[in-house]
Amino acid sequence: MTLKRFAFVIGDLYGGGAEKSLLYTADQLRQRGHTVKVFTLRERIEHRLPEGLEIENLAIVSRFTRATSTVLTEKWQARRVKRVLAPWQPDVVISCACDKITRHLDFPNLYFWVKSDVSAKFSDPKQRERAFKKVRRFYRGRQVIAVSQGVKESLERVVGLRAERIVPIYNPYERAPFVDMAEESAPLPDGDYFLYVAAIEPRKRHDRLLRAYAASGVSTPLAIMGKGKPEHEAAVREQIKALGLEDRVLWLGYHRNPYPFIQHAKAMVMTSDAEGLPRVLIEALLLHTPVISVDCPSGPREILTQELADYLVAPDDEAGLIQALARMDQHPVTIEPRHYQQFLKETVLPKFEAL
């Protein structure tokens, strides 16, 4: 194996799965002997930072640059990024969630890490086409890492992207750290519960989940973990009240370490309209917690394989979701290592090393 210098560039380390998977991938490559550095565009950190992973804040995103955002501003920011990266001489540069700026870089070894399926994010045809044009403008003739085979196929067939190449690579995982975090102390609910961990926003479709749960008749409580804009949280709380579920739905809020809750759940549920490769489903399997998911684009179909596919439900099939909840409540599935082997670091990291 040839050791390489990997530079990861990301807006910040605040928020959800994209930031978490970047940190984990970067640190795992470091542990395999590569020289790795994470460059952030502003200092905003929420996630645990792996010990030994070098992180440098470039401080090129501010209230001023956001307020005066133009192509000229983006190019100025990109020059600042290049001024730092070029002397460091990375073999591979991976941009994540800051492509508006990094698209102006001209490194021959630059990859854009696409984590979501843009084709499923918009229902309005005009918004959808504007989003597609943006993707084609950003990535035409460039190199792209797609987080799943489904995202790759969507970019090519639906969006019409003509990239230099699109490489599908899953996020890499190691089971032991999740098991360790799952053993930490946490204010767990008493008894069994179903669990939904997601940002509270319309795309995550808490409304679909709550309707199906109310109709399923199961007595196992439903726990909702996550945070969102006040108006989105209020809408979910209002639906809980309207469905008469106040005594059966547990509002857990946001927890920096969700894994004790995931490990002790009877099952994880996901009802999103769109994903890239939903890491929370993979993490549930790593903790041997079974999963019920809608078959949204993209990712769930690649995660729930073999007999787990019996708990993959079409997004518009609420009757199927109701039945899946009832079946899982009566007979939870047993998760085995073969269900998540394709996501383990031993399988995935060599694909990053081959870039």
Q: Please indicate, yes or no, whether residues 347 and 287 belong to a single structural domain of this protein.
A: no
- Strand arrangement, sheet containing 110-114: 54-57, 35-40, 5-10, 92-96, 110-114, 143-146, 165-168
Q: Is the domain of 287 the same as that of 218?
A: yes
pLDDT of 228 higher than 80 = yes
Question: What is the C-alpha separation between 54 and 40, in angstroms, rounded?
Answer: 11
The predicted-structure confidence for 320-334, as pLDDT tens digits, reads as follows: 999 999 999 999 999
State residue 148 phi and psi, 5-degree precision: -155, 165
Per-residue confidence (pLDDT) for residue 275, from 0 to 100: 85
Distances (CA, A) of 329 to 36, 78, 255: 44, 52, 25
Do 141 and 238 belong together in one domain? Answer: no
| pLDDT tens-digit series, residues 57-108 | 999 998 888 878 899 999 999 999 999 999 999 999 999 999 999 999 999 9
Q: What is the pLDDT of residue 53?
A: 96
Q: How many CB atoms lie within 10 A of CB 304?
A: 24
Residues 134 and 86 in one domain: yes
Q: Are 184 and 311 in a shared domain?
A: yes
Q: Tell me the β-bridge partners of 96.
A: 10
Report pLDDT digits (tens) over 287-301. 999 999 999 988 899
Using CB atoms within 10 Å of the CB of residue 158, give its burial: 0 to 12 exposed, 13 to 18 middle, 19+ buried: middle
Give how many domains the chain has, as a whole number.
2
Q: Do residues 107 and 195 both lie within one domain?
A: no
Higher pLDDT residue, 123 or 239?
Answer: 239
Q: Quick: pLDDT tens for 139-189.
A: 999 999 999 999 999 999 999 999 999 999 999 999 998 999 999 999 999
Cα 336 to Cα 253, 333, 340, distances in angstroms: 30, 10, 8
Q: Which residues of 266-299 are buried (b: 16+ CB within 10 A; e: fewer)?
A: bbbbbbbbbbbbbbbbbbbbbbbbbbbbbbbbbb
Residues 321, 260 contacting (CB under 8 angstroms) = no
* Residues 112 and 70: beta-carbon distance below 8 Å: no
pTM: 0.82
Shared domain for 192 and 135, answered yes or no, is no
CA distance 90 to 81: 13
Q: Is residue 141 domain-shared with residue 222, that is, in the same domain?
A: no
User: Helix %, strand %, coil % for the chain, to 5?
Assistant: 45, 20, 40
Domain that holds residue 214: 175-339
What's the full length of the chain, in residues?
355
Kindly state whether residues 78 and 119 are assigned to the same domain: yes
Q: Can you give the pLDDT at residue 190?
A: 94
Residues 182-210 pLDDT 10s: 999 999 999 999 999 999 999 999 999 99
Q: Tell whether the model's pLDDT for residue 351 goes beyond 90.
A: yes
The CA distance from 75 to 89, in Å, is 20
Same domain, 293 and 194: yes
Contacts (Cβ under 8 Å, ≥6 apart) of 200: 206, 224, 226, 227, 228, 229, 232, 233, 236
Task: Verify that 219 and 289 share a domain, yes or no.
Answer: yes
267-295: average pLDDT:
94
* pLDDT score of 204: 95
Q: Say yes or no: 14 and 163 in one domain.
A: yes
Dist. CA 232–CA 158, nearest whole Å: 30
Q: What is the reported pLDDT for 44?
A: 80
Give the per-residue pLDDT at 31: 95
Cβ–Cβ under 8 Å, residues 276 and 298: yes
Read off the CATH number of the domain in which 330 is found.
Answer: 3.40.50.2000
